[in-house]
Chains A and B, each alone.
Chain A
Amino acid sequence: MLKIDNLHVEVGGKEILHGITMHIKPGETHVLMGPNGSGKSTLLMTIMGFDAYHVTRGSISFNGSDVTHMPVHERARLGMGIMFQRPPSIPGLKLGKMLDVINPEKKPEFVTAAVTRMNMEEFVERDINLGFSGGEIKRSEILQMMVQDPSFIMLDEPESGVDLENIHLMGESIARLLQKNQRFIDRKNSGLVITHTGYILDYLDVDKGHVMINGEFKCHGNPREILKLIKEKGYKECLSCAKIL
């Protein structure tokens, strides 16, 4: 589904990612871990194709198409979706209107059901993200993903800022987006999730973990084991271990 080969990325003239290679197969969900500022979000932004992220070397291919230099909206139309960590607020643009324009093919009943599922009824008539709390932004982002219906979803710290009551809702909804309710063999959707706490792993059956430090992968492996190690010994251990599979 997603193949990244030796990807080098510059932001503001400075190289942030130094040769990232990864392969996410259909139905797989990968987890990205690493200290703050290590380049995890940069990788997601680059995969989505935002302006400020310049690929200087390497390539990204998605379902067989080279998307390395493809405009953002074309990637979205190929089935890529991203849940923003800090989306901009857009005065005057109602969340409901956003849902309408994201995917006009979705039936109103589907959209209404999704809104209800995410407890966002009161937000439909509000300007998108304006004055939303951290948890409300997450719910709004997940809701938009449900309507957009991408086959590959990138999630940047989906659990941050979400209260305990809502983390369950978030976890379950993300699991559904990634078709975790289906047998592995039937799953088509893939995901790439950044997490610091690992709470989200309680809801997601994930397949692989990657640790990024200073713009490079230092470790690949079982995400739960990696997380346990980081929790016990910190990222220093990852640096010294540097187990590249």
Chain B
Amino acid sequence: MHDTIQMTDLSDDDQKRLALTGLEVEMKNRSGSFFQKDQDVCHITSDCQGIEFLTFSMALEKYPWVRDYIWKAIPKDKDKYTKYVASRPDPKGFVIIAKKGTKSIYPLQACLFMSDSAVQHVHNIIIAEEDSELHIISGCTSSTGRNSGAHLGVTEIYVGKGAKVTSTMIHNWGKNISVFPRSVAIVEENGVFLSNYVCMEPVRKIQMAPLCQLKGEGAVGRFSSVVVCTPGSFMDLGSTATLEAKGTSAELITRAITTGGTILSRGRIDGLVKGTKGHIECKGLILRDGIIHAIPEIKGDVVDTELSHEAAVGKIARDEIEYLMARGLDEETATATIIRGFLDVKLEGLPDVLQNQINAAIDAAERSGF
């Protein structure tokens, strides 16, 4: 492990890019921090009792049982990207273990930064033991001026009985970077998994389809995505929840704006057993010619599973703009105010510090005129 490079050692420009992804380079309001630059894990700390924040290799050394969680939620041979990550002799990434009953107020932060290498690969494991609660904010960014590159990230999340995991991912890649996150969460009885995804900056291609398997009774899963797709960007964003036990429920919420890029917004909920509920909501705004292709799918297998979806793609209604103009706002300000509201998805259970980071990302997008 290299102790030499810290987040604060990066150029001002790169530090600003990190900040845009919600990362606190000074680590204020964070209970732990992980920083991986290309394939070098530069730094990892945790000062929250009961929560272990380790590098992949450290975790295996300290807790050999972690091995049982590797490639358990996600099959190694799922696709060529997982195969690639699995074939690396030196797996990178982090492991979080929240011990039974531990609750962290401040989030842990993980920074994945691409600087020089062509491919960055990570394998992360998050284990929330019974009745524990943890928040992780992952900020992913690349150095300015990167001409190409690919980020492959595998994340396996295990939410134990009564545990709660909030994972907030903010992407701020460059227009030449392709990104292929692969993640699966397995949620036990009365566990809660909340996944928030924010991407407002250019990217060449993102392709991801996180899965949340609600296996224990009363488990809850929610995916919320807020994305702005700029010209030249291609985002294939899917999320799937499977309702596998009585009383489980899932919600998939997307707010998508295109200013010229292409967004495929896939969502799928499978109601496999009785007494389950699921809802998909996708709202899209086309501000400049681009594509928003919403594909909500609901599949019910039994009586007494309630599934619904609503999807809408359109433009800002004229009467909304005029309403604000009648109060003295010029057209541009009125439009920005409405867009701001559109993106303001209520992310329940999110600590203020995380909500503030998301707001900051929206602010930044607003300042650059969406």
> Which residues from chain A sit less than 8 Å from chain B, CB to CB?
48, 50-51, 71-73, 76-77, 81-82, 84, 87-88, 90-94, 97-98, 101-103, 127, 144, 148
Contact = CB atoms under 8 A, between A and B. Distances in A.
Contact of B342 (A73, A84, A92, A103): A92
Contact of B322 (A72, A102, A127, A148): A72
A93 B341 contact: yes
Label chain B's interface by main secondary structure.
helix
Contacts of B343: 92
B326 A48 contact: yes
A125 B166 CA distance: 24
A72 B329 CA distance: 9
A77 to B, nearest CB: 5
11 contacts: A51-B318, A73-B325, A73-B329, A84-B326, A87-B323, A88-B317, A90-B320, A92-B340, A93-B338, A98-B324, A102-B327
Contacts of B322: 50-51, 72
Contacts of A97: 337, 341
**What class of interface size applies to chain B in its complex with A?**
20 to 34
Nearest to A144: B327
Contacts of B345: 92
Contact of A76 (B317, B318, B326, B338): B326
Interface of B: 317-320, 322-331, 333-334, 337-338, 340-345
Mostly, the A contact residues are mixed
B325 A72 contact: yes
A84 B323 contact: yes
Q: Which of B319, B323, B340, B343 has the most CB of A within 10 A?
A: B323
Given A101-B333, A101-B337, A88 B320 contact: yes
Given A73-B326, A76-B325, 11 more contacts: A73-B330, A73-B334, A76-B326, A92-B343, A92-B344, A93-B337, A93-B341, A98-B327, A101-B324, A101-B333, A148-B327
Nearest to A79: B328
A223 B322 CA distance: 31
A11 B265 CA distance: 38
Contact of A90 (B325, B331, B341): B341
A102 B337 CA distance: 11
B363 to A, nearest CB: 13
Given A51-B322, A88-B323, A90-B323, A76 B328 contact: yes
Contacts of A91: 341-342
Nearest to B344: A92
Contacts of A87: 323
A127 B342 CA distance: 11
A180 B337 CA distance: 34
A118 to B, nearest CB: 16
B226 to A, nearest CB: 11
